[in-house]
Homo-oligomer: A and B are copies of this chain.
């Protein structure tokens, strides 16, 4: 696994760029090592519409492994019993879904993530151009720096989303983009970008519009290991991120409150 090397590379990179002194990322990444609780002043949200960041889920929804992960069984009908009802059989990591820290660590299961961690200002990092040119593209520290230069510091308590435009492929083979050796090819977070976001201790979660926080071709899943291992949550298969501004939207992540769950189907709404 590349993680120690990545960490070293990240440390060098951060030092080289004096990143900590020039962006909000540094405010809580300073060297004291003391996690200071940030003040939580009243929040104000102004919005005119609600954007649905959730794909509709049916049994044909693509999955990381390629197998069917959702089935819906009719249990009663309006005509026969007076009620329409179904029973679902569903793997937690299906559709637009949460990765709880417990998916890849001994940290919080879905039910233990505090509600306040599921609401926050949304940062949308647009990597569509490079993803269109290269399906193995990654959201890197350079992308975060560019965002900060244009839009200012990442807000306290933010949720950071990679907008690769990959949701447009959801009903085509390109969504998984499996090659002849069954390796997948779609964008994800670079582990150094995840490290930089971890350094801003109050960032609540990260979001991708692909099947994995790591790029599809990853074999060791360093972003899952580090991000979930730091007791943060991730969200995969988001939709419609391109309909949102780079900053200014507030996101509400309707993650399942299922005891012991490692994740699960999630309704994600943005107030814009």
Binding site for B on A (CB under 8 A): 40-52, 54-58, 72, 75, 78, 82-93, 95-96, 102-106, 111, 115-116, 118-119, 252-262, 264-269, 271
Contact = CB atoms under 8 A, between A and B. Distances in A.
Contacts of A264: 88
A114 B83 CA distance: 22
How many chain copies does the complex carry? 2
A46 B42 contact: yes
Contacts of A72: 258, 260-261
The 5 closest A-B pairs by CB, nearest first: A254-B254, A254-B267, A52-B115, A58-B259, A45-B45
Contacts of A119: 50, 252, 269, 271
B115 A50 contact: yes
28 contacts: A43-B271, A44-B46, A45-B45, A45-B46, A45-B271, A49-B116, A50-B115, A55-B257, A57-B256, A57-B258, A57-B259, A58-B258, A72-B258, A78-B104, A84-B102, A84-B104, A86-B92, A86-B261, A86-B262, A87-B89, A88-B88, A90-B90, A95-B257, A118-B267, A252-B254, A252-B269, A258-B265, A266-B267
A261 B82 CA distance: 16
Contacts of A57: 111, 256-259
A83 to B, nearest CB: 6
B86 A269 contact: no
A54 B41 CA distance: 25
A96 B111 CA distance: 13
A142 B219 CA distance: 63
B262 A256 contact: no
